[in-house]
Amino acid sequence: MTKLVFIRHGQSEWNLKNLFTGWVDVDLSEKGVEEAKEAGRKIKEAGLEFDQAYTSVLTRAIKTLHYALEESDQLWVPEVKTWRLNERHYGALQAKNKAKAAEKYGDEQVHIWRRSYDVLPPLLSADDEGSAAKDRRYADLDPRAIPGGENLKVTLERVIPFWEDQIAPKLLDGKNVIIAAHGNSLRALTKYIEGISDEDIMGVEMATGQPVVYDLDDKLQVIKKEKL
C-alpha cells in the first residue's frame, strides 16, 4: 500500500514571535528543531520508508525535512525543492505582528485573512523592499508568477500542478513519498486529497512537526489517515 506523509515544518523563529511569515525565509527555532527531529523518530518507530522527498525552497521546511530524514536514517532519499510548495504568501501582512494586526484591523478581519478560502490579504507591490521578486531563488520564474499575496484558493492553484506533474506519478508508481512543507500548502493538498469543502477547510489545522500518514489505493484515494 502506497504511503504519503505530510510534515508541517517545526516552529519557526517567526512563529515564536507571532509574526506573519509567508514567503519570508526564516529559520527554525530551537523548539522547531526538536519538533523536526521528533518527527523523524516517530517515522523510524513506525517503520516508514520513503522513495522520494519533496519540500519548498524555504529554510524552515528544508531543515525540517533533513532533520526528519536524518533521525529516521533516510537522509539519502532523493529530494526535490520547489517554490510551488512554499507557504501561502501573506502579502503586505508579512513581517507584521499578528496581535498588532488584529488591534489595527480587528480580530474578525484578521481571522478572515488568515483562515478564509478565497479572501486575499492586502497585497504587496512588486517594487516593495520585501517582494519575492528581488529574491534570487525565484530569478527563473516569470515575474507574473510571483504573488503579491495569496489566499488558500490561490495557494491550491499553484500547488496542484506540481502534485499532478511530479508527486502523483510517483505515488501511482507505488513509491512512498514524504512532503515537508507549510501549514497552508499542506492544507491545500489536504483539501484536494480528502475532498474537503471550501467551508470545512477553514477548520483544518496542521500541527508543527507532526507527521500525518496517508494510505492510498491505486487511484490515490485515501484508505486510511493517521497522525503519528
Q: Known catalytic residues?
A: 9, 87
Beta-carbon contacts of 200 under 8 Å, excluding residues fewer than 6 positions away, are none
String of DSSP letters for 143-188: GGGS-S---HHHHHHHHHHHIIIIIHHHHHTT--EEEEE-HHHHHH
β-partners of residue 4 are 177, 214
For residues 64 and 11, is the Cβ–Cβ distance under 8 A? Answer: no
Distance CA 130, CA 77 (A): 34
For residues 4 and 171, is the Cβ–Cβ distance under 8 A? Answer: yes
